[in-house]
Each structure stands twice: as structure tokens, then as C-alpha cells.
Amino acid sequence: MIDLRNDTLKHLGASVRIPSYDRTQLVPGIVHIGVGNFHRIHQAPVIEACLNYPANSSWAISGVGVLNSPASRAKVAAFQAQDNLYTITQLNADMSTSAQVIGAMVEYLYAPHSPGTVLARLAHPGTRIVTLTITEGGYNINEVTGLFQLDQPDIIRDLSSPAPSTAFGFIVAALKQRKAAGLNPFTVVSCDNLRSNGDTARRAVVSFARAVSADLADWIDEQGAFPNSMVDRIAPQVSSEDRARINAASGINDLIPASCEEYTKWVIEDKFCNSRPDLGLGGVEFSEEVAAYEAVKGRLSNAAHMMMCYPSLLMGHRFVHEGMTDRNILRLLHNFWELDAYPLVTPPRAYSVQAFTAKVVERFANPAIRDQLLRVAQDGASKIMVFHSRTIRDLIARRSDITREAFLLAAFGRYLTGLDERGQIFPVTEPQLKPDDWKLIHDGDPRALLQLSSFRALGLADSEPFVQRYLEIAKQLTERGVAETLRGILR
């Protein structure tokens, strides 16, 4: 196999797409914070498409890593060894594949080692857009108050230190420098799965800035831009086994390959304060109906992912497509969509939610993706709130059947034990749960889950119908198991 570097591109197999432009002529115009799999298979290929046109050569990506961990340091070393190149392999349902080398990222900066370099790149006049994939729980918003939490240790540290460590610390410090230098602010584009993600990013940035200077906060709020966007593509984790399989197919010894499905969609408001590339060249759709696209994607697709992942895990499955082979999991999703979600979601004009969810079933069932249920399940305390809270509230307010939502939370509670019904242990990753939350969980009271800090804003403990249905289902899960409980709630 061929190692991946600038000087080996011409030696790659004819079936591998490589950059058609001269990478030496590229200039960073976009800084991306959080270079994980999703960014690498979603936003980066869009910019890659734009760079094939000479007019966009000043819109290359400067990647930034902010997490300090062994995995993050390994990523730094891999990007350095590969001249910031990596491959994307598209995994089709018929098991065919196609590989592409992405050259859009021209530098990768590691904030824990070089915060000054990161700050300088953000403050540079050539930086006109900053994009974010920092996870649904990364915006530090209190679910009860809706306010940015200034009392968190890392935020307190950034507010008192000249060397930032968080995404918002870097963004605000750079905007402060830009304001002092008479430069325009950059546009901040959230690419995370959040309702009104641009508005959420604005709230976080402006709130942090207000703790620094009211004048700075006002300038950012008035002169900056935070367009809302809807992003959609499955980005599975790439295990060592997957890496070997992907690299064997491409003939490339890629240290950090990424894989994806064929489907991709990015809808965004055309609200930029400091110019932008022609994103339409990469298939981006500009729309004033982003909120409607968000509702469809979040409340029908992401919500379905959460709905199916916990019972599937508990029954012993480890991949999404395996769970989708269970006809009762499929019936659960159709019950959820038809009885609960469709009546509550207003789609964009001339849009079929039925066609959308049919495509969701097809995508989830794709065996080539090998999307890990644990990837979907992790950080569930945040994701459930993002993708299900509005549906739960609406159903309670309408006195509608809350069976599917009660089942979701009861299954999530079982997932937190880290043990499936076959006796197999699995890791539980819930960064938003606090020590007091875990104490509640371990106390053994089934009602405790409804009182976790992440769910408190829903006020579930005050809804007697919800509490009773939840307790019934939680008891059934304990006494009968997931499969029998699931069969009993289906219509």
C-alpha cells in the first residue's frame, strides 16, 4: 500500500479521486474547530468541491483541535505525517465503495500545545469563517435557564487566562483582537445537530464576550453573523478493523481514513458578515426555511436514531443495521413517526416527511456503514434533550399517548447500567451527567432518571401520566426484558 502524502498523490490508483488543484496555492480562509469524523465527511468535501475552481483558492481550511487526550495527540501526528491529507470512502448499500483524497485542510493546529498559533490564525485578516463541530453538548447552555454557563471551570479559567483552552475562549479572544485592529468579525457557523444552531452559537459567543466586555459583546452581536444550518450525513466511527478494510480497498495506507454513506445534505441561511465561498458548488442549499429542515431532520431522523439505539443495544446488537433487522424495532420507528412525530412537525414547503423517513430506514439499514450503536447512544443525556424534548413537551401538553417517549427514557435508564440482556458489558459515555446524577441513578429509585440534571427542564416528575407510564415500562423492562416489553407497546 502507498503512504499518503503530497508527493505520493500521483502514484495512487486510478479509481481514487485526488485533488485537481495545486495545494501549494491554497490559503486558509476557514478555521474549523473540532476536526472529527463528521466534519471530515461533510463540510470538508464541500470545500474540496469549491477548491476545484480557482476563484475559491483562498477558502482552504485550517483545522483546530482543542481536546487534550492521547487520541487527539495521535491525530496531530497522523495529519503531520500525511501533509494534512486523508481519504473518504463512500460505503454503498450494495457493498461497493469509492475513495477520494481530501486536500482542503492545509494545516492542523493543536491548541493544547500552541494556543498562540491558534489565536493568531483566528485573528488573521484572511480568516473570514469559523465553523464548529463540538457536539450537541459542547455549547455549555443550561437546559433549564437557556443561558450560557459562565460558572463552569474551563470557562472560568478562560476568562482569567491570556491563553484560551475552549472554543468560545479562542473565538472571543480572536474577535477582541480583530476589533482592536479595525477588522471585521468572522462568521461563526455551527455544524452541530442543534435546533437553531446558529442562534445557540451566537448566545454562547456573545455571553462569553459580555463577561469580558459589554462593548465587545455588542460589537459581535451587531456586526457578526451566526447563520443557522441543517447538516445531515452518517459518519461512523472507524475501528482498526474498518481502517484495514478501507485501506485495502483503496490501496492507500491512510492513518486516519474516514467513511460515510452516499447521502449528504447541508442547508444554511445565506447570512455571512465577511464574504463566503460559492458553497453551492459543493451541493449546499441556501434557504430561509432552515428551521423547518432542522425540525424534520432532528425530530424524525436523529430522534429515530435515539429511539432505536438503546433497545437494540440492550438486546445485544452492536451495529445500527443489525438493530434494523429486528421487525419490532422497525415497527417502533413507524409507530413513533406516524403516531407521535408527524402531527407535530411542520416540514418545508412541498416536502414529504413520508419520503424522508423512508429514506431514513434505507440509510439506517445500510450494512456497509457498520455504524456503531454505541456511537449513536453516547451523550444520550444531551441528545435526547436536543431531539426529543419538544416532542415530549408537545405530547404532554396535548394529553397524547406518551408511550414511545416513556419507553425511550426507560431504555436509556437501562443503558446507563452498561450491561445488555446477554450479560455483555459495554462502555457508557455520558459527559453531561454530573456526580450527583450518577448518585441518583445508583440509588435504585426508577423515578430518579426523570430528575437528572439534563432532563430537569422537562418537568417530567410533575406529569403524573408520564410518570405512571414510564414506571410501568421500566418495571416491564426489568421483569420481561426489552423484546417482550417492546412487543407489548407496539401498534
Calpha distance 433→440 (Å, rounded) = 11
CA 285 to chain CA centroid, nearest Å: 19
pLDDT at 230: 97
For residues 84 and 105, the answer to whether their CB atoms sit within 8 Å is yes
Examine the pLDDT at 446 and tell me if it is beyond 90: no
Examine the pLDDT at 444 and tell me if it is beyond 90: no
Distances (CA, A) of 281 to 176, 186, 193, 288: 33, 21, 23, 19
What would the mean pLDDT of 323-352 be, rounded to a whole number? 97
Examine the pLDDT at 478 and tell me if it is beyond 90: yes
Q: Which residues contact 171 (CB under 8 A, 6 or more apart)?
A: 33, 122, 130, 188, 205, 208
Q: How confident is the model at residue 16 (pLDDT cuts 50, 70, 90)?
A: very high
We find that the CATH architecture of domain 290-489 is: Orthogonal Bundle (1.10)
Give CATH superfamily name and number for 2-286.
Answer: NAD(P)-binding Rossmann-like Domain (3.40.50.720)
For residues 464 and 398, the answer to whether their CB atoms sit within 8 Å is no
pLDDT at 170: 98
pLDDT at 91: 95
Judged by DSSP in three states, 133 sits in coil
Q: How confident is the model at residue 157 (pLDDT cuts 50, 70, 90)?
A: very high
The 258-260 sheet, strands edge to edge = 97-102, 86-91, 258-260
* pLDDT, tens digit, 9 for 90 and up, residues 272-287: 999 999 999 999 999 9
pLDDT over 90, % of the chain? 95
* pLDDT, tens digit, 9 for 90 and up, residues 22-61: 999 999 999 999 999 999 999 999 999 999 998 999 999 9
Q: How confident is the model at residue 144 (pLDDT cuts 50, 70, 90)?
A: confident
* pLDDT, tens digit, 9 for 90 and up, residues 168-184: 999 999 999 999 999 99
Q: Where are the domains of the chain?
A: 2-286, 290-489
Distances (CA, A) of 45 to 48, 97, 193, 258: 5, 16, 18, 12
* Short-list 275, 283, 271, 285, CA closest to 58: 275
Calpha distance 426→436 (Å, rounded) = 22
